[in-house]
Amino acid sequence: MSYRPIRKLPFDVPDRYTKEMAEYLFAARGINHFRDVSVPTAINRLLQGIARLVRTEEDRGIVIIADNRCQSATYSS
């Protein structure tokens, strides 16, 4: 059995490009960048990390998410 801690959720680091893209998407299309882009991307990366833990039917693993934002943040519900 293997163990893979996930210490933080895999969100992109906010930078100038991300901020400009978020402003553009909201102004041009009314898209909330965090809810409609960042959260789905982080979920996909999280699932990919879990998939690396278990690759065959015989593999076993434990995933522990130690980021308390999973319970306290509004995007977690």
Write the CB contacts of 7 (distance below 8 Å, at least 6 apart in sequence): 66, 67
Burial class (CB in 10 A: 0-12, 13-18, 19+), 19: exposed
What does pTM read for this prediction? Answer: 0.68
Confidence label for 13 from pLDDT (cuts 50, 70 and 90)? confident
Whether residue 76 is predicted with pLDDT greater than 60 in this model: the reply is no
The residue segments making up the domain with residue 28 are: 2-72
Q: 11 in a domain, yes or no?
A: yes
pLDDT > 70: what percent of the chain? 90
CA–CA dist 65, 67 (Å, integer): 6
Domains of the chain: total: 1
Q: 24 in a domain, yes or no?
A: yes
Question: Which of 48 and 54 is assigned the larger pLDDT?
Answer: 48
CA–CA dist 47, 34 (Å, integer): 18
Burial class (CB in 10 A: 0-12, 13-18, 19+), 8: exposed
Q: 77 in a domain, yes or no?
A: no
